């Protein structure tokens, strides 16, 4: 078949805007709860319930008060992440959603080469396909956990839920949320999810939890990304569309559940994939959305012989 074969797929835009709607919903709910905590009494709970699902905040509360009750909502999030991956970052996290919604110079580039997206060494050279490096977020997570027993709490500076809550309260009080403004500026320059991927300690914890759940197959996951290697042409479109600039999905050479700890299961790679059935979002073994062909925003994908392969 010719390399210019195009397959119209209205479901792709539906997935994109569905995720945007979910992000805006949780972001609005988060801000509303922050407002209720700032101006009681109100019909809303006088606290931001999002903070209860924060594993880092729960761990800090445990060290301070020895209370087990605050751990349960956070443990529920870790359990769901063990089953399904880092979905919280891609669909729910209010700070991540705010960073992703702001304009970024990276969005001005219609097509980024996968070589430009690969992790880089200390010297700045791109690492080869499949190579990994230790991101700063894991070191920061370790430092925070070590400092908790010593009574040092830096969550106000590094925890995304605490940052978002404090920023909302500061805005309501008429003060300037400097930490949030700094992160928004970083997102504009380095990319919408640079902080989430490289620095965020909560993201590191959820990625580590996802890595621990690799043994679970796609049939047990509430949400999973599945790849069909026989259909993949390794064009790199998935990496270019990924808000987290993940290249491992394109580099993976096997079929089945994609076990990439940093993947936030946003589905943008499925939307951008130019080959029918190469990628799919799956829930409990049922396909929610599969790639269906050409995406006009990315150009002409070509296989080894100048053809778009379809399964």
Contacts of 37 (CB under 8 A, 6+ apart): 46, 47, 48, 165, 169
Whether residue 80 contacts residue 87, with contact meaning beta carbons closer than 8 Å, is answered with yes
Q: Where in the chain is the domain with CATH 3.30.70.20?
A: 217-290
Q: How does pLDDT run along the chain (311 residues), one tens digit per residue?
A: 333 344 445 556 777 888 999 999 999 999 999 998 888 776 677 678 899 999 999 888 888 877 776 689 999 999 999 988 899 999 999 999 999 988 877 654 555 677 677 776 656 666 666 666 778 999 999 999 999 888 888 998 999 999 999 999 999 999 999 999 999 999 988 888 999 999 999 999 999 999 888 766 556 778 889 999 999 998 889 998 898 888 889 988 988 888 889 999 999 999 889 999 999 998 888 888 899 764 433 333 333 333 333 33
Can you give the pTM of this predicted structure? Answer: 0.84
**Is the domain defined by 217-290 classed in CATH 3.30.70.20?**
yes
Give the angle 62-82-91 at the CA atoms, nearest 5°. 90
**Residue 101: partners with Cβ closer than 8 Å, 6 or more residues away:** 20, 23, 192
């Amino acid at each position: 078949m010719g390399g210019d074969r195009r397959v119209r797929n209205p479901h792709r835009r539906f997935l994109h805007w569905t995720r945007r709607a979910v992000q805006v919903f949780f972001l609005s709910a988060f801000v509303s709860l922050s407002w209720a905590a700032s101006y009681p009494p109100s019909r809303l709970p006088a606290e931001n319930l999002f903070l209860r699902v924060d594993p880092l905040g729960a761990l800090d509360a445990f060290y301070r008060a020895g209370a087990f009750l605050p751990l349960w909502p956070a443990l529920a999030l870790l359990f769901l992440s063990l089953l399904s991956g880092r979905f919280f970052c891609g669909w729910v996290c209010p700070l991540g959603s705010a960073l992703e919604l702001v304009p970024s110079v990276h969005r001005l580039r219609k097509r980024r080469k996968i070589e430009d997206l690969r992790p880089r060494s200390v010297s700045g050279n791109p690492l080869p396909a499949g190579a990994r490096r230790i991101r700063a977020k894991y070191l920061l997570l370790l430092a925070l956990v070590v400092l908790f027993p010593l009574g040092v709490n830096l969550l106000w500076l590094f925890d995304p839920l605490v940052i978002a809550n404090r920023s909302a309260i500061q805005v309501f009080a008429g003060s300037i949320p400097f930490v949030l403004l700094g992160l928004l500026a970083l997102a504009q320059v380095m990319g919408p999810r640079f902080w989430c991927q490289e620095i965020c300690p909560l993201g590191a914890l959820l990625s580590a939890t996802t890595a621990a759940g690799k043994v679970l197959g796609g049939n047990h996951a509430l949400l999973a990304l599945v790849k069909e290697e026989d259909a993949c042409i390794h064009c790199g479109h998935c990496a270019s569309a990924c808000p987290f600039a993940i290249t491992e999905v394109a580099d993976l050479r096997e079929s089945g559940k994609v076990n990439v700890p940093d993947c936030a299961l946003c589905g943008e790679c499925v939307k951008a994939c130019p080959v029918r059935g190469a990628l799919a979002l799956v829930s409990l073994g049922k396909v929610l959305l599969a790639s269906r062909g050409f995406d006009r925003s990315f150009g002409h994908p070509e296989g080894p012989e100048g053809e778009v392969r379809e399964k």
